[in-house]
Structure 1
Amino acid sequence: MILLMPGNWQPSPEHLQRLEARVGAGRVVVAEDEAGAIRAAAAAEVIVGHRYLRQVLPHAPRLAWVQTSAAGVDQLPLADLAARGVVLTRNPLNSDSIAVHALALLLALVRRLPEALEAQSEGRWAAPFAMRSLPRRVLLVGLGGIGQALAPRLRGLGIQVVGCSRQGAPEQRAVCDAFVPAEAWRDVLPSCDGLILALPLVPQTVGMVDAQALAGLAPGALVINVARAGLIDTPALLAALRSGQIGGAALDVLDPVPPPGDGLWRTPGLIVTPKVAAWHPDMRRNFETFTEQQLARHLEGLPLEARVVAGGPSP
Structure 2
Amino acid sequence: MEKADRYLSAGTRANTRRSYRAAIEHFEVVWGGYLPTTGDGIVRYLAEYADQHAISTLKQRLAALAQWHVTQGFPDPTKTPTVRQLLKGIRVVHPARARQAAPLLLRHLQQAVEWLEHEADAAWQRGDHSTLMRHRRSIALVLIGFWRGFRGDELARLEVGNTEAQAGEGITFYLPYTKGDRQHEGTTFRTPALKALCPVNAYINWITVAGLTQGPVFRRIDRWGNLSDEAINSHSLVPMLRRIFKDAGLPEDLYSSHSMRRGFATWASANGWDIKSLMNYVGWKDIKSALRYVDPTSSFGGLALNATSIAPLQQPALPER
Structure with the higher fraction of residues in helix conformation: 2
Bigger radius of gyration, 1 or 2?
Answer: 2
Q: Give TM class, smaller chain.
A: under 0.3
TM-score with structure 2 setting the length: 0.27
**More strand per residue: 1 or 2?**
1
